[in-house]
Amino acid sequence: MADLPIAAVIRIAKHSGAQRVGNDAAVALVEMAEDYIGKIVREANKLAMHAGRKTIKEEDVDLAMMSV
């Protein structure tokens, strides 16, 4: 089950230029977005732990996005 709301993903797609988004496409976008976010979080968590922190900071996310 997806954690991101499909309606939010459809709204983002429409703000990005899509006129209409099919339900199957929205579900695929949710799955891909969750996978991408998960990869960034895992990398950002490694960076935070390396810095001796339990809390992920914006700088960790920025650095993690460069390597994902």
Q: Considering the entire predicted model, what is its pTM?
A: 0.87
pLDDT attached to residue 11: 96
pLDDT attached to residue 2: 75
Q: Give residue for tokens 């935070």.
A: 48
Going from N- to C-terminal start, the domains of the chain cover 6-67
The CATH number corresponding to 6-67 among 1.10.150.530, 3.30.9.40, 3.40.1160.10, 1.10.20.10 equals 1.10.20.10
**What is the secondary structure of 1-68 as a DSSP string?**
--SS-HHHHHHHHHHTT-S---HHHHHHHHHHHHHHHHHHHHHHHHHHHHTT-SS--HHHHHHHHHH-
Walk along the chain (68 residues) and give the pLDDT tens digit of each residue: 679 999 999 999 999 999 999 999 999 999 999 999 999 999 999 999 999 999 999 999 999 999 98
pLDDT attached to residue 1: 64
Handedness of CA 42, 48, 54, 56 (dihedral sign): negative
Query: 28-45: per-residue pLDDT in tens?
Result: 999 999 999 999 999 999
